[in-house]
Amino acid sequence: MTQSEALLIPPKPKAQAAPMKALVYHGPGRRSWEDKPRPVIREATDAVVRVTTATICGTDLHILKGDVPTVADGRILGHEGVGVVEETGSAVAGFERGDLVLISCITSCGKCDFCKKGMYSHCRSGGWNLGHTIDGTQAEYVRIPHAETSLYRLPRGADQEAFAMLSDIFPTGFECGVLNGQVKPGDTVAIVGAGPIGLATLLTAQFYSPAELVMVDLDANRLAVAGSLGATQLVEATGLKAVERVLELTAGAGVDVAVEAVGIPATFDVCQKIVAPGGRIANVGVHGKPVSLELERLWAHNVTLTTRLVDTVSTPMLMKLVQSGRLRPQKLVTHRFGLGDVMKAYDVFGNAAREQALKVVLKSQ
Amino acid sequence: MTQSEALLIPPKPKAQAAPMKALVYHGPGRRSWEDKPRPVIREATDAVVRVTTATICGTDLHILKGDVPTVADGRILGHEGVGVVEETGSAVAGFERGDLVLISCITSCGKCDFCKKGMYSHCRSGGWNLGHTIDGTQAEYVRIPHAETSLYRLPRGADQEAFAMLSDIFPTGFECGVLNGQVKPGDTVAIVGAGPIGLATLLTAQFYSPAELVMVDLDANRLAVAGSLGATQLVEATGLKAVERVLELTAGAGVDVAVEAVGIPATFDVCQKIVAPGGRIANVGVHGKPVSLELERLWAHNVTLTTRLVDTVSTPMLMKLVQSGRLRPQKLVTHRFGLGDVMKAYDVFGNAAREQALKVVLKSQ
Amino acid sequence: MTQSEALLIPPKPKAQAAPMKALVYHGPGRRSWEDKPRPVIREATDAVVRVTTATICGTDLHILKGDVPTVADGRILGHEGVGVVEETGSAVAGFERGDLVLISCITSCGKCDFCKKGMYSHCRSGGWNLGHTIDGTQAEYVRIPHAETSLYRLPRGADQEAFAMLSDIFPTGFECGVLNGQVKPGDTVAIVGAGPIGLATLLTAQFYSPAELVMVDLDANRLAVAGSLGATQLVEATGLKAVERVLELTAGAGVDVAVEAVGIPATFDVCQKIVAPGGRIANVGVHGKPVSLELERLWAHNVTLTTRLVDTVSTPMLMKLVQSGRLRPQKLVTHRFGLGDVMKAYDVFGNAAREQALKVVLKSQ
Amino acid sequence: MTQSEALLIPPKPKAQAAPMKALVYHGPGRRSWEDKPRPVIREATDAVVRVTTATICGTDLHILKGDVPTVADGRILGHEGVGVVEETGSAVAGFERGDLVLISCITSCGKCDFCKKGMYSHCRSGGWNLGHTIDGTQAEYVRIPHAETSLYRLPRGADQEAFAMLSDIFPTGFECGVLNGQVKPGDTVAIVGAGPIGLATLLTAQFYSPAELVMVDLDANRLAVAGSLGATQLVEATGLKAVERVLELTAGAGVDVAVEAVGIPATFDVCQKIVAPGGRIANVGVHGKPVSLELERLWAHNVTLTTRLVDTVSTPMLMKLVQSGRLRPQKLVTHRFGLGDVMKAYDVFGNAAREQALKVVLKSQ
C-alpha cells in the first residue's frame, strides 16, 4: 500500500473519545490518577501508542515541585516508555498497528535545520514535549507527534524494561556525559552524582574503556551500586572534601573528564576544581540557578565545558548494544509496579534514598 | 649523564658577562630601561638570541598593574619577538649562530606528556615563561630554553614585523578563538573586543569562511579597523545593548560562535547571551575574576565553552600562510619605535584608545 | 491549515495529464526533445516543480555514452535545477505552490538510517534518482519525491544561475573533494582535473585557506580559468610528467591533499604518486574501471583515501555563502540557452574543449 | 654548537668495546647467533639498554625471506623489547642507568614536523630504524637513538612480557586498525587475519565496544583463540567464500569496519567486498604488491581506506590500560625461550601454524 492509497482508508469513526486512566499534574505538589479522554490522531504524522511499560524520571519530581513552569495544570506526565502502536496518521509509513515501539523522550520532525544536524532536542516543532507541553506516557495511551522519526521499532518479545531505559536516561548519560565529555581509552573520569543518570553515565562511559572511573556521592548505597557497575573508585563526600579526595586519587593531576550529574552549584563547583588542564566538564544535571565559573583560574587551563539537552541521536546505537548483550540497562531497575499503582510508585521514587530506589518501572496489565 | 651533569662541561670562558640594555619590571607601576648582564647558556638545550624586533603585549600592561603576582621585581619583560641566534647549547642541533628566528611566547620541551599531546602551554618545564618567570624579549638579548622546540627559523630577509605578530597574538586569536570556537564555513561569528587579540581572531577566523563576522566594541576607531579587516557587522555597544543588537542582526537566532576577547565578566556575559543553541563560546580573554554562568538556562542549550592558554602549535601553519601572502599580520602594527625608546612605546601603548594604537613594534638599531 | 485538514482538500481533477516538453534518453547516443505527460503527485510527500533553470552535467554525457545502464530508454534526463513549486502532496508541510526552490540532485527521505547519519546519497528510498531511475529536470516540469527534505526554498528574486550550481557540482566538489580531503589552512592541495567539478572543488577548497592550490589538467583554457579562480600553480601535464612537476613544486614532499576529479586510472595514479605521507586522496571522479593501488608502497605512507557520492548535506551552508557573497558559483557558467534549445546545448557541452564550455545553463521562457 | 660538534666531546674511554651475543642477519635465509661489539653512545641523545625481554615479529620473518632489501648483511634484528638502561648520552635528561624501560619499535626525535604532528613513523631522523637500518633488540644490548622520546619508563617489577607486547603489535593493531578504522560503539567490525597483529586488533577494538567482532582466517586454532579473546563470529574461510559468509552474517549490509591484517591482495579484496556504504577499510598488513581497488563500484560507496606505519603515539595510553588491568596483552604469548635459544625460537615462530605459536618471548638470563 502506498502512502497516497493510505489516505483513502476511511478514518475510524470517533463518535466519542473513549476514556482512559492517566497520571495528571495539577500544580505544584498535586498529582492524581484519573480519567482522561484517550488521545486521537491530530496530525498526519502522529501515532497513538498503548503504553505497556513506563517509568518515572527525576524530572517528573522537579515538575511536581513546581520547578518547570512550562508544565500546565492538567498535563499527563511521563516521557519514557515502551508500547504498542494503536493507530497511525496517514503520513506515517514506517510503523503500523501492532508494532512494539520504544518511545523517545525527544520528538523530532527529521526535517528542520536542527534535526538535520542531529540536534533533535531543539527540533523546531518537537524537542522535549511529552509530559511537558503535551500529554505524556504515564497513561494507558499516548499520542506521539512526528511518530516516524520519534519511535523505534522493537523486536517482538524484547525486554521492555531494558528498552524503557533508552527513552531518556541512557541517551542522556551517554550523549551529555560520555560523548560530550569525550571519554577516551585510558582516561580518568569522575562522575559527580550516583543517581540513575549518573549510573547510566557510568555504564556507558565504559564503552570507551577509561582507566579509572571515580564515582562521587553522599549516598553509601548508591556508591555501592556504582562499585558493582564498574566504578573503580568511590568517593563518599561532597564539596571541598570530595575535591581533596579526587585530587589525592589522581596524584594531584585532576581528572580528564568531570561529569556533573546532579544540577546544583555545589556539584558543579566540585567539577571545575577537579578537572585537569586539557580536561572536559560535561554537564548533565538540570540546573535551577547560575553557577560561579572560576574563569580567573580556568582561562589558562585549556578546559572544555559542555551542556546538552539530550538529542537521542544515539538511541539506535544503544539499541544495538542492548540487543548484542553488551549493555544491560535493566540493572538500574529496582522497583516494579502496575501502571494503576503509579501513585504509590511516585511515593517510593520520591523517597529514593530511604527506599534505595533507582529506576521504578510501571507495567500495564 | 643527567642534564644537570651536562652543565659541568666547562662553559666557554666568559671573562665577565657583558652588559646589555633591558626593560625591567620593578613592581606595580614601575618599569625602567636599564643595564642588565647579557644572558648566557645555562642548559644544553638553551639558545641566546639577539633581539631585532620586539613588541608590547596587553599582558605586559597587566603585569605593570600588578595583576600577575608571579612576575618578580627585576624581571625583564616581553614574550614576543624576532631575533638572530647568538649562541646555542650543546644539545641544540637544529639552529646555529646567525639564524634568523621567531621566538614563541610559549616554551616547549617537546618531550613531556603535555607537549606530546600538543598542549605546549602546560609543558612540564616550559609554558609561558618569557617575561614572566624568566627574563624576556624587551632587551638586547634573551635566553630561550628548549630552543630547538621553541624557536622557528625564518628565511633571511623575512618581514620581521609580520612574523613578530606570530609570537603570541596570532596563535592566540587562532587557537583560543577560532580553533576552539570551531569556526566553520557559513557560520555567524561574533567577536567581543576589537583590541589586537580580537582583531587577530577576526583575521584568522576568515581562514574558515564564516558567512558573518560581527565585531562588538565601544571604540569607534577599533571598529573601523575591524571593518577594514573583514568584519561584516560592527556593533558599537556593550552589555545588554550589545546583546540586543547582535540578536537583531541574527533575527533572534544568536551566533554560532561567540569569542570573548576582553577578559571581564561583562563581556563574558554578552557572549553567553548571544550564543545560539548548539553554539560555542570561545574564551580568549585573560580574566581576573569569576563570572556568573547561566547554567539554569544554558544546561539545555547544547553549548560548548572553551578556555585556553595559547599552545602555539599552529605557528608553523601561520608561518606558511604569511609566506604565501594569505595572512598579513603586519596590518595590526600602528606604531614603531627603536628598542631604546621602549619607555615611550609603553606610554603610547598604555594609552591605546587615545593614540589609536594596536600593536607597537620595537626595532633594535 | 493543519496537515490533516490538508488531506480533506479535494485533489484537482486530472482528466488527462497535460503534455509538456522534455529531453528524453533513448539508449546510447540517442536523445530527443519531445512531448511527455506532465508529472503528477504520486506520493503524499511529492511535489511537482515547474523548472525555470536547468543545466547539463558531465554525468548526462556518461549516460548518453551508455555508461550508466541503470538509466532506461524513455527516461527524462537532468538532476540539476531551480524552479517554482506547482503542486505539493498532502504530507508536504514546508512548501507551497509558488515557492522558488533549489532542486537537490539527491533525494532524501530524512527518516532512514542513512539519512539520519547525513548519508543522503544512500537514502533507503531516495539517493540519486532524478534523471536516473525517475524522470529528471531537463523538462518543463519535474516530480520531486520526499520534497520536504529534497528541496530548498530560495528568496524571491534569487540569482537562479548561481543556485542551480548548488544542485550538484558545488556540493560534490565540496563534500567529496574538500571535506573528505580534510583541507586545512596552510595545506598544499592538488586538484587533478579542471572540469566544472574540479573548478567547484577549487573554489570551495578556498573556504579553508590552503597555502597552495595546484591545478593539473591538459587543457590550457581550463587551466587559465583555474588561475583566475584562485589556483596558485598550474600544471599543464598528465601522467608521470604531472607527477614530476607536482613533486618539484613541493620540493619533493608531495601534497597534503590530492583530489581526483576526472575518473580514470591515469589520473588516480597521479594522485597516489603525489600524496605526501600523512596526506589524503579524495576521489570525486566517477570511475568505470578498477585502479591499481600501490599498497606495496602506500601501506607505510599513512594516507587516507576516500570515495563519496555527494550527500548534499552541505547545501544549506553553501546557500548561506552564496547569499553572503562569499561564493559566486555562477562564475562557472559559460553558455546559456533557452530550455527549448537543449539539443543544441548538449552539442556545445559535448564539445566542451572546443567550445570552451564549463557549465551550460538552460532557462525556460 | 651543532650536534656533530657535540660528538667531539671526548667519549669516556672504552679501552675496547666489550663483546656481546646477538642474532645477526646475513642475507636471505641466513641468520646466526654470534659475537658482536657492545653498542656505545654515539649521539648525546642516545641510550644503551641491556635487553631483558625481546620477542620476534612477523616482520623479522619477512626480512629473512629477503622481502625488506633495506636491511643489510650484518644487521642485528629485532625491534621489540624491554630492558634496563645501561648508559645515557649527555642530552638525555629523562632516564638514568638502572631504569626499566619499554623500547618502542619507532624512534622519534620529538622535534621535527612529523613528530610534532604525532606521525613518529615518519620522523625525519627516526621512524622504524631498530633491526632495520640500525642494530636491533635481539641482542644483549641495544643502542636507542632519541632515547628520551623513544623509551618509556616502566615501574620496577612490571610484567615484562606484557609490556614487550607494546613495543609494536599492540600500538600497531590499535592505531592502524582500530583508530584508523574509527571503531565506534555498536559497530560491526571484521578483522581479516587472526595472527598476532589481528588478535591485537581484536583486543584493542574492544576498547570501543563494537556490537559484533567478526574474525576471518583459515587457521582453526587461531580462530579458536580469537573466540576466547572476544570475537563474536568466526569465519573459517577465505576469498569469495569469506565474503559470502560475512555478508550473510550482516544480512547483506556489510561491515562498518574491515581491517586488513594479512598483507596480500586476496585479503585486501575480501575487505573491499565486505565493507558497507559509509564504512572504513583499515589496512594493517605489510604489502609486497599492488592491489586492484574496485573504484568503479566504490566511488559511490562513501568509504574511507587508510594505511599507516604505526606511530606508537598510543603507547602511554596502552601502558595505562595494562597497568589498570583493562588490557592483558600477555594473552598472546604462547612460547618462551632464553635469549640464547633465539635460533630455536625462530624455528618455532617460523612454523607458527604447526606450533600453534602466536608471540614468542625471549628472556635474558
Chain C residues with CB under 8 Å of D283 CB are 295, 299
**In the predicted model, what is the mean pLDDT of residues A24-33?**
97
The answer to whether the CB atoms of B89 and D313 lie below 8 A apart is no
The answer to whether the CB atoms of B93 and D3 lie below 8 A apart is yes
The answer to whether the CB atoms of B295 and A291 lie below 8 A apart is yes
CA distance C91 to chain A (A): 6
Kindly list the partner chains of chain C, i.e. chains with 3 or more CB atom pairs below 8 Å.
Answer: A, B, D
- Of B211, B317, B323, which has the smallest distance from its Cβ to C185's Cβ? B317
**In the predicted model, what is the mean pLDDT of residues A306-334?**
97
**Residue C86's closest CA among C42, C129, C39, C53?**
C39
Q: Grid coordinates standing for C279? A: 596526506
Q: Is residue B9 scored above 60 in pLDDT? A: no
Q: What is the pLDDT of residues B171-189, one digit of tens each?
A: 999 999 999 999 999 999 9
- Of C119, C291, C295, which has the smallest distance from its Cβ to D295's Cβ? C291
Chain B residues with CB under 8 Å of D88 CB are 1-2
Element (H, E) at B58: helix B58-65
The answer to whether the CB atoms of B185 and C206 lie below 8 A apart is no
**In the predicted model, what is the mean pLDDT of residues A309-327?**
96
Task: Give the single-character DSSP code of A177.
Answer: I
Identify the residue among D172, D273, D293 best suited for mutation to test binding to C, counting C beta carbons within 10 A and taking the highest. Answer: D293
Chain B residues with CB under 8 Å of C320 CB are 186, 211
For B88, which residue in chain D has the nearest alpha carbon? D1
Question: Following DSSP, what letter does each residue of C43-91 receive, concatenated?
Answer: STT-EEEEEEEEE--HHHHHHHTT--TTSPTT-B----EEEEEEEE-TT
- Of C3, C111, C115, which has the smallest distance from its Cβ to A94's Cβ? C111
Q: Grid coordinates standing for A140? A: 494507558
The answer to whether the CB atoms of C185 and B207 lie below 8 A apart is yes
Interface of D with B (CB under 8 A): 1-3, 5-6, 9, 44-45, 88-94, 96, 110-111, 113, 115-116, 118, 148-149, 313, 316
**What does the pLDDT read at residue C178?**
98
Q: What is the pLDDT of residues B51-94, one digit of tens each?
A: 999 999 999 999 999 889 999 999 999 999 999 999 999 999 89
Q: What is the pLDDT of residues C117-135, one digit of tens each?
A: 999 999 999 999 999 999 9
The answer to whether the CB atoms of A321 and D186 lie below 8 A apart is yes
For C316, which residue in chain A has the nearest alpha carbon? A113
Q: How far apart are CA D317 and CA D152, in angstroms?
A: 12
Distances (CA, A) of A98 to A4, A45, D220: 21, 17, 45
**What does the pLDDT read at residue B67?**
85
Count contacts between A and C (CB, < 8 Å): 67
Q: How far apart are CA B303 and CA B280, in angstroms?
A: 6
Element (H, E) at B353: helix B352-355
**What does the pLDDT read at residue D12?**
52
Helices (H) and strands (E) in chain D, counts: 13, 16
Q: Grid coordinates standing for C98? A: 509558488
Q: How far, rounded to the nearest angstrom, does the alpha carbon of residue D339 sit from its chain's CA centroid?
A: 19
Identify the residue among D59, D273, D283, D299 best suited for mutation to test binding to C, counting C beta carbons within 10 A and taking the highest. Answer: D299
In whole angstroms, how large is the CA radius of gyration of chain B?
21
Q: Is residue A216 scored above 50 in pLDDT? A: yes
**In the predicted model, what is the mean pLDDT of residues A308-329?**
96
Q: How far apart are CA C250 and CA A217, in angstroms?
A: 58
**What does the pLDDT read at residue B3?**
43
Alpha helices in C105-206 (DSSP H): 113-116, 160-164, 169-172, 196-205
Q: How far apart are CA C342 and CA C351, in angstroms?
A: 14
Question: Following DSSP, what letter does each residue of C200-260 receive, concatenated?
Answer: HHHHHHGGG--SEEEEEES-HHHHHHHHHTT-SEEEE--HHHHHHHHHHHTTT--EEEEEE
The answer to whether the CB atoms of B295 and A307 lie below 8 A apart is yes
Block mean pLDDT (10 aa), chain D, length 365:
42 65 97 97 96 96 92 98 97 95 97 96 97 98 97 96 98 98 98 98 98 97 98 96 98 98 97 98 96 97 98 98 95 97 97 95 89
Q: Is residue B10 scored above 90 in pLDDT? A: no
**What does the pLDDT read at residue C10?**
47
Q: Are A303 and A295 in contact (CB under 8 A)?
A: no
**What does the pLDDT read at residue B17?**
66
**What does the pLDDT read at residue C18?**
86
ipTM comes to 0.94
- Give residue for cell 579553508: C208
- Give residue for cell 626595532: B363
Ranges of chain C with pLDDT below 70: 1-17, 365
For C2, which residue in chain A has the nearest alpha carbon? A43
Other C-beta atoms closer than 10 Å to the C-beta of D239 total 13
Interface of B with C (CB under 8 A): 184-186, 206-209, 211-212, 232, 316-318, 320-321, 323-324, 326
**What does the pLDDT read at residue B5?**
42
Q: Are B148 and B43 in contact (CB under 8 A)?
A: no
Q: How far, rounded to the nearest angstrom, does the alpha carbon of residue A241 sit from its chain's CA centroid?
A: 30
Distances (CA, A) of D121 to B215, D112, D309: 44, 12, 6
CA atoms within 13 A on the CB side of C273: 19
- Of A41, A44, A111, which has the smallest distance from its Cβ to C94's Cβ? A111
Q: Is the dihedral of CA C323, C324, C330, C332 positive or negative?
A: negative
**What does the pLDDT read at residue C14?**
52
The answer to whether the CB atoms of C288 and D308 lie below 8 A apart is no
Q: B354, exposed or middle or buried, with CB in 10 Å at 0-12, 13-18, 19+?
A: exposed
The answer to whether the CB atoms of C277 and D303 lie below 8 A apart is no
CA distance C305 to chain D (A): 5
Question: Following DSSP, what letter does each residue of A233-259 receive, concatenated?
Answer: EEEE--HHHHHHHHHHHTTTS-EEEEE
The answer to whether the CB atoms of C207 and B208 lie below 8 A apart is yes
Torsion angles phi and psi, residue B304, rounded to 5: -125, 130
